Amino acid sequence: AYKRFSELLPKEERENGWSARVPKSQILTLPELRANPFQHRICRVFSTSETRDDSMSFEDFLDMLSVFSDSATSDIKSHYAFRIFDFDEDGTLDRKDLEQLVNCLTGQGEESRLSSEEMEQLIQNILEESDIDKDGTINLSEFQHVVSRSPDF
């Protein structure tokens, strides 16, 4: 893991790799993230940068790798998935978060974008299936409940 991390650093910073931060632009060159529709959110969620530039320390990088490893528990995976899908970072998935989530999954192109009626119907279906307390949002425990019924998650 350290070898992969240090390869993302400029040559002159590799000796101090333990304390260096890799810029987001370099993290996004990783093949695992390059085509991921949530690449920017992944960087935001795992970065501990005080300047919120989404750069990563080696510890941030390890956290990201461990969550995406096959050995991570579904509780940990679902916790981070929830944070990635919570675009406005308010602790719930509301209609706006769900719309952004669907747009990320279907692509931003005109040919793949859902009509407003299709989007509304899909969001309504998601909320009917997931919003147990019927408050119009999905909280972490509701999200984890839905995920627990999805063995492929």
Q: What is the CA radius of gyration of the chain?
A: 17
Q: Do residues 30 and 59 both lie within one domain? A: yes
Query: Which of 53, 46, 89 lies closest to 68, judged by CA?
Result: 46
Query: What percentage of the chain reaches a pLDDT higher than 70?
Result: 99
Q: Please give the pLDDT value at position 16.
A: 80
- For the chain, strand residue ranges (E) read none
Same domain, residue pair 62 and 96: no
What mean pLDDT is reported for the chain? Answer: 94
The answer to whether residues 23 and 49 belong to one domain is: yes
Q: Quick check: 54 and 47 in contact, CB under 8 A?
A: yes
Q: Residue 18: its pLDDT value, please? A: 81
**64 and 12 in one domain?**
yes
pLDDT, one tens digit per residue, over 74-117 is 999 999 999 999 999 999 999 999 999 999 998 766 777 899 99
Task: Read off the pLDDT of residues 30-57 as tens digits, 9 standing for 90 and up.
Answer: 999 999 999 999 999 999 999 999 999 9
- Model-level pTM? 0.91
Q: Check residue 43 and give its pLDDT.
A: 98
For residues 27 and 62, membership in a common domain is answered with: yes
Query: Could you give the CA distance from residue 120 to residue 124 in angstroms, rounded to a whole number?
Result: 6
Cβ-count burial 38-47 (b if 16+ within 10 Å, e if not): bbbbbbbbbb
Residue after which a domain boundary falls, among 47, 68, 89: 68
- Give the lowest-confidence range in 15-19, 62-66, 116-120, 129-133: 15-19
Are the beta carbons of 87 and 95 closer than 8 angstroms? no
User: For residue 17, what pLDDT band results from cuts at 50, 70 and 90?
Assistant: confident
Higher local confidence (pLDDT), 18 or 110 = 18
Angle at 46 between CA 43 and CA 50, to 5 degrees: 90
Q: How many domains does the chain have?
A: 2
Instruction: Tell me the two tokens of residue 148.
Output: 């627990």
Query: For residue 100, what are the CA distances in angstroms to 38, 58, 82, 93?
Result: 10, 29, 13, 10
Whole-angstrom distance, CA of residue 108 vs CA of residue 131: 26
Domain that holds residue 100: 74-149
Query: Is the domain of 29 the same as that of 90?
Result: no
